[in-house]
Structure 1
Amino acid sequence: MGQVDSKPQTLNKPGNPGSPPTTGASTAQSITTSLSQTLDMSPELPVRPPPYEEVAASPPGKWEMVVLFGSDLDSVQKKGTINLSIGWFADLYIDTHDIVGLMRNGLYLTQDNIRAQEGHIKQYYSYRTNQWFWYRYFAIVGPNWSGCLYVRVGDIGIAHRFRMDDLSADKIYEADVKNKDGNLAYKFCLKHPEMNVNCILDEFPMRGLWPWPRELPDAKDQDAEEKGKE
């Protein structure tokens, strides 16, 4: 089972690269062999694919967004972990040059956002927990952002059945946004709500996969929720 750090932290993008897997016209670097020795809630992962498109009209500078999901947040809150033989953790990494638009319009992910030809799965061993884990990788792209999603499970069948509709704002336990200088501009922490801050739009209520501040569910959110129940 994975372990969640009980203290709030600043989320970082994936760590040191290894040999690059193919990602369309460019390559992203693969997971290092040291991953299995340092496996934790936010393990060292491959560098995310670079943006697939630049929005010329957007303000200069790239914003980096990290969102951490868990299939059972009650278990995360009470035990700091999830039983990965029946559940999953998912780490979402997004680059955008239009963070204001992403906040105002909401962040939504569907199967249509997946670059299917870049998907793959790998297995890693955790010496800390003496368990094998599967990581399923999704390359994703939207109208003004690009990124990737890593889903960590103990059962490959769960990885196979995972869909973007499984993600929802009520399954997020931590999220960060950093500006081009690496300064924190947004933070959400389920365990420490006193740490929540939005330095971009303050109390502006947001939709989709933004966990805080929340707007009342709109049609898109309700549709996504209904699909997730099917």
Structure 2
Amino acid sequence: MTRACAADPETPNASSHQAAPPRYDSLSHMHRVQHFDSPAWQDLKPNACFVFYSSLPDGENTAAAELQWEARLRVKARDVPRLMREGFHWNAANFDFEATYIQLDVSDENDALELVGWTCSRNFFLSDLGDDPHWTAKLAVYAQNTNALSRFKITDLTLDKMGWASAWKEGGLGDSSQWLYDWDYEELEGNFNAIYDDMPLEGWWPWPKRDDDAPLESGSADGR
């Protein structure tokens, strides 16, 4: 599995048991979602990435002989330490599903994606829904064909399918980054939180968790 991340729940299962996009009473919801590429966020580069796989080797999700999809959640946060302190909470209510699209060619995105065999992607947009949103994100789901993409549901995302997660800030020398957080399910001894050490983190942060937390910790019900 590749670790490159392009710059470009009742369970954290991504919805509160919703198999389909939520119904909206008005158009106000989608206008509250601040898009990853919108003018309000275009000057901020991604500073966190969470990667999920349809199945993880040597884990509970080993039924599939091959990966069906890989999902990369690229996040732009105004304040990464705040995102750690308050928890990274989201569910289906945070998405603007009407902005979703499929890209048929991903060859110009990242060489590592092509090496894995991914040829197309389905792209979703989500954000904090507060009055002063402090994060926005783009979820790109990669697969070998559009059939796999059309079958993908937001509810397929769970913490036990997360392969790795990282957060960083831009360094002062060239393109170097200063790493704030790194977690890899295959290299648990190398995990670190440079800011808060072993302080338990809530929501979609995979580690550390409180000893009494359920394996799939719930995100906040209000979607923030």
Same fold (TM over 0.5): yes
Structure 1 pair 187–128 and aligned structure 2 pair: CA distance change class (3 A):
closer
Could you tell me which of 150, 157, 177 is aligned with 1:160?
Answer: 150
Residue 114 (structure 1) aligns with: 95
Root mean square deviation, CA, Å = 3.7
Corresponding residue of 2:48: 65
What is the CA deviation profile of residues 183-204 of structure 1, one whole-angstrom value per residue up to 9, with x for unaligned ones? 1111011111222110111111
**2:37 aligned partner:** 49
Mark the CA change 1:128 to 1:147 in structure 2 (over 3 Å): closer, same or farther.
Answer: closer
Secondary structure of 1:152's match?
strand
Over residues 31-59 of structure 1, what are the superposed CA-to-partner deviations in whole Å (9 max), with x where a residue is unaligned? xxxxxxxxxxxxxxxxx6257469xxxxx
- Structure 1 unpaired stretches of 5+: 16-23, 29-47, 55-60, 225-230
- Confirm or deny: 8 A CA contact 2:89 2:219 kept in the other structure: no
Identity of aligned residues (%): 24
**After superposition, what is the alpha-carbon deviation per residue over 1:105-152, rounded to whole angstroms, capped at 9, x for unaligned?**
2222322222233211022378757x6633101122113201201111
The answer to whether residue 76 in structure 2 is matched with residue 88 in structure 1 is no
Q: Summarize deviations over 1:54-90 as a string: whole Å, max 9, x none.
A: 9xxxxxx97700111112112689x9x9724xx3210
Q: Answer yes or no: is the 8 Å Cα contact 1:52–1:141 preserved in 2.
A: no
Which residue identity does 2:213 align to in structure 1?
Answer: P
Q: What's the counterpart of residue 7 of structure 2? A: 14
The structure where helix makes up a greater share of residues is 1
204 and 50 in structure 1: CA distance in 2 versus 1, 3 angstrom threshold: farther
Runs of 5+ consecutive residues of structure 2 not aligned to the other structure: 9-30, 108-112, 172-176
Correspondence 1:1-230 to 2 at 5 A: 4-5=1-2, 11-14=4-7, 49=37, 52=40, 64-74=47-57, 83-84=66-67, 87-124=68-105, 133-142=119-128, 143-181=133-171, 182-215=177-210, 216-217=212-213, 221-222=217-218
Matched residues, number: 176
8 Å CA contact 1:95–1:145 kept in 2: the answer is yes
CA distance in 1: counterparts of 2:59 and 2:79, whole angstroms: 32
TM-score when normalising by structure 1? 0.62
Distance 1:51 1:177 in 2: 23
SS of match in other structure, 2:195: coil
Question: Please, what TM-score do these two structures have when normalized by structure 2?
Answer: 0.63
Work out the CA distance in 1 between the residues paired with 2:58 and 2:7: 25
1:127–1:135 CA distance, 2 compared to 1 (3 A): closer
157 and 127 in structure 1: CA distance in 2 versus 1, 3 angstrom threshold: closer
**Alignment partners' CA distance in 1, 2:218 and 2:118:** 36
* Structure 1 residue 102 displacement after superposition: 1.6
- Which protein, 1 or 2, shows the higher relative CO under an 8 Å CA cutoff with sep ≥ 6? 2
Query: Aligned-pair distance for 1:175?
Result: 1.2
SS of the aligned residue for 1:147 comes to: strand
